[in-house]
Structure 1
Amino acid sequence: MTEFQARAAAEWLLSAAPDPAECRRQWGRGPHGMVLLPAGVRWDVLILPGALGHPTLDVLSRCADRPGPVLSGSGGTRLGFFVPPGTASRWLGTGVRAVGRGAWIVVPHPGRAAGVVSWLVRPDGSGTLNDPGLLELAMHEAVAEERRSGGW
């Protein structure tokens, strides 16, 4: 990611913050470059367990030109797929945590290495998100592929 892309991605993420300047300062001050940003403003987040999230991202990467932003947390045991606002209130998937309006998520700076939470797919700064319908299909295909290979 170029410095220009990282800056555009950071500005897009900060556009959801109640105080973008303070978040920018926190990114610079903190040892891990993390801030809390509200879900439900520019995006919701669907959090999948890693065992489902990683194969889902593999399928999604084959189906989409470029997947939307995806975070990895807790050493890859959970993946957070950024989806359009409002998705969380309509999501019915079992085993998927839907995070929307009223919740906050930990977000690393898109242009720096991070610690516990890191980007698997960094935001591109344009507002590209994961399509919930395509994400659901990718989840189904990931499960089917795992079953075919004897994984589940």
Structure 2
Amino acid sequence: MSAAGAKKAVDWLVSAAPDPDACRWEWERNPLGVALLPAGLLWDVLILDGMLGYPTLDVLTRVVRRPGPVLSDFGEARMGFFVPPGTATRWLGTGVRAAGRGTWIVVPYPGRVTGGVRWLVPPDGTGTLTDPGVLELAMHEAAASLAGES
């Protein structure tokens, strides 16, 4: 990620914070390179188990030009797909956790390597998010593929 791309991504991410300037100041100085940002304003996050998340991301990248941001946690056990706000309140998928209004997520600084949480698909700074319907279809295809491997 270029420096200009990282700056644009940071600007977009911190715009979700209650105090964007304070968030940016703390984030840039945090030795872990992470910040807590609220979900539900600019995005919600659908959290999948890594066993389903990786095949889902593979399907998703084949059907859309660029998915929205995707996070992976420590040990890559879980993946978080950024989707439009309000998705968490309507999501009914079994085995998928949803982070929406009233929840906070750990977000790594774009373009920096951290010790744990990392971007698999970094934000582009334009607000691109994954369409939840397309994500659901990608999850179904990934699950069917995994079931066929058993």
TM-score (norm 1): 0.96
Give, in whole Å, the separation in 1 of the partners of 2:64 and 2:2.
22
Q: Count matched residues.
A: 150
Measure how far apart 1:130 and its partner are.
Answer: 0.6
Q: Verify: 1:32 aligned to 2:32, yes or no.
A: yes
Deviations 1:53-108 (A, max 9, x none): 11100110111101110000021100000000000000000000011000000111
Secondary structure at 1:75 match in 2: helix
AA paired with 2:40? G
| Structure 1 unaligned regions, length at least 5 | none
Deviation at 1:15, TM superposition (A): 0.7
Q: Which amino acid in 2 is paired with 1:29?
A: R
Unaligned runs of 5+ residues in structure 2 are: none
Any runs of at least 4 consecutive aligned residues in structure 1 with deviations exceeding 2 A, and if so which?
Answer: none
Identity %: 66
Tell me whether 1:146 sits opposite 2:112 in the alignment.
no
Q: Using the TM superposition, give the Cα deviation of residue 21 of structure 1 relative to its aligned residue in structure 2, in angstroms.
A: 1.0
Q: For residue 112 of structure 1, report the CA deviation from its aligned partner.
A: 0.9
- Contact 1:6–1:110 at 8 Å: present in 2 too? yes
TM-score, normalised with respect to structure 2: 0.98
What is the RMSD computed on CA atoms of the aligned residues? 0.8
Q: Take 1:68 and 1:15, find their aligned partners in 2: how far apart are those partners?
A: 17
Q: Point out the more displaced range, 21-30 or 104-113.
A: 21-30
